Amino acid sequence: MKKLLSVAATSILAVTMVTPAFASEEVNEAVVPAQSADTTYNIESVTPFANVTYTVTIETSNDDDAGTNSVLKIALYGSSGNTEPTVLSGSYEQGDTDTTRISSSNIGNIRKVVLYTDGGGYKPGWRVSSVRVSNPDGSVSNFGAPNRWLGDGGTKDEITLLRTN
């Protein structure tokens, strides 16, 4: 047993005492930092999983009874992913403009939205005038107004709107 430990200790010492050949060589190379480019990068553009905020602005039509008390949701579909349906905050009454901020991983600029209503509440029908989404890069995605009522008659409903700009 003592002989085995002695061999192991000698082997460890031999390994730790080895010095690479280049360690004694002199190096005269200067380290040059990379040239900086004129391009500015933000965390959202280089990290697809960074948390960003999308700002959704929805205008409810000024038509009679266009507002609703139903539970409303929106799903955002971007160039590199989508969000789960998110409950919209606001009153969504006739002629109102309501804003909801959605925090998500960066799914790119929004190309499509899906609006959902549960068809519940007093006067559940809802008529939307416009939908805008401010993207993390500062651009805005506009969506055409649906040419129909959502949730009218107290039924669950959804509509897909495509980007118009």
Read off the tokens for 114.
């899906």
State pLDDT tens for residues 74-85: 999 999 999 999
Pure H helices in the chain: 2-17, 43-46
Rg (CA), the chain: 30
Q: Within 10 A of 74 (CB to CB), how many other CB atoms are there? A: 22
Q: Is the pLDDT of residue 47 over 90?
A: no
Which residues contact residue 76 at a Cβ distance below 8 angstroms, ignoring those fewer than 6 apart? 54, 56, 82, 83, 86, 102, 104, 107, 110, 113, 133
State pLDDT tens for residues 102-158: 999 999 999 999 999 999 988 899 999 999 999 999 999 999 888 899 998 889 999
Q: Is the pLDDT of residue 62 over 90?
A: yes
Predicted local distance difference test score (pLDDT) of residue 40: 45
Which residues contact residue 2 at a Cβ distance below 8 angstroms, ignoring those fewer than 6 apart? none
Q: Is the pLDDT of residue 8 over 50?
A: no
Residue ranges of domains in the chain, CATH in brackets: 51-162 (2.60.60.20)
Q: Is the pLDDT of residue 96 over 90?
A: yes
Look over the chain and give the mean of its residue pLDDT values, rounded to a whole number.
Answer: 81
Q: Taking Cα atoms as reference points, which of 56, 37, 60 lies closest to residue 100?
A: 56
Which residues contact residue 103 at a Cβ distance below 8 angstroms, ignoring those fewer than 6 apart? 51, 52, 53
Percent of the chain with pLDDT strictly greater than 90: 63
